[in-house]
Amino acid sequence: MRGFPPIQIFLLVLTFVVLAIPLTQLTGTTSHAKAVAVPVVESPSVKALLRVRYAHKPVTLSVKIADKELIGGVAGSPIELTTSLPSVKDGVDVFLSATWADGTPDTSITLELEPDGFSTRSETRWSSAGSLDEVITFEWK
């Protein structure tokens, strides 16, 4: 005895519809989860002492940390100032730029950075052809 094909097709379609309802609930594109706001934690700034020393007085001198110009002019050597660093965890990039008058021999500039609670780091760079343009990275482990 054989079944009636329209009834078999109806039962097959009914089975797929019954299974499709929970599947659409599980795989639907609508998300019922609420977004959790993650609090933004500002990295604490650290106070630091910056010292710049040079052998020959430059015509122009610029020292920047995190797009903030700390020294924009020339003064007597050494130059000392207190500043705040964004964070010393990932290191600190110092942008140093200087030019000297014509006829000045190759000379050096020394930067010393001493954040509160960390040891002093010192880097010396030599000029070439009367100018210096360097990015110096100070790291503390």
What are 67-118's pLDDT values in tens digits? 777 777 777 778 888 888 877 777 888 888 888 888 888 888 888 988 888 8
pLDDT attached to residue 13: 92
51 Cβ contact list (under 8 Å, min separation 6)? 78, 79, 80, 110, 111, 112, 113, 114
**Residues sharing a CB contact under 8 Å with residue 97, sequence separation 6 or more, in sequence order:** 60, 61, 62, 63, 132, 133, 134
Cis before residue 78, ω within 30 degrees of 0? yes
Which residues, listed in sequence order, are joined to residue 48 by a DSSP beta bridge?
83, 115
Beta bridge partners of 110: 53, 124
pTM of the model: 0.62
Distance of CA 54 to the CA centre of its chain: 29
Taking the domains of the chain in order of start, what are their residue ranges? Answer: 47-138
pLDDT band at 15 (very low <50, low <70, confident <90, very high): very high
Percent of the chain exceeding pLDDT 90 equals 6
What pLDDT was estimated at residue 1?
61
pLDDT digits 0-9 by tens, 37-62:
777 655 578 888 888 888 888 888 88
C-alpha closest to that of 66 among 44, 89, 45, 94: 94
pLDDT at site 10: 92
Please say if the pLDDT value at position 7 is more than 70: yes
* Contact assessment for residue 71 and residue 61, using Cβ atoms and an 8 Å cutoff: yes
More confident site: 30 or 97: 97
Residue pLDDT, tens place only, 121-134: 898 988 888 888 88
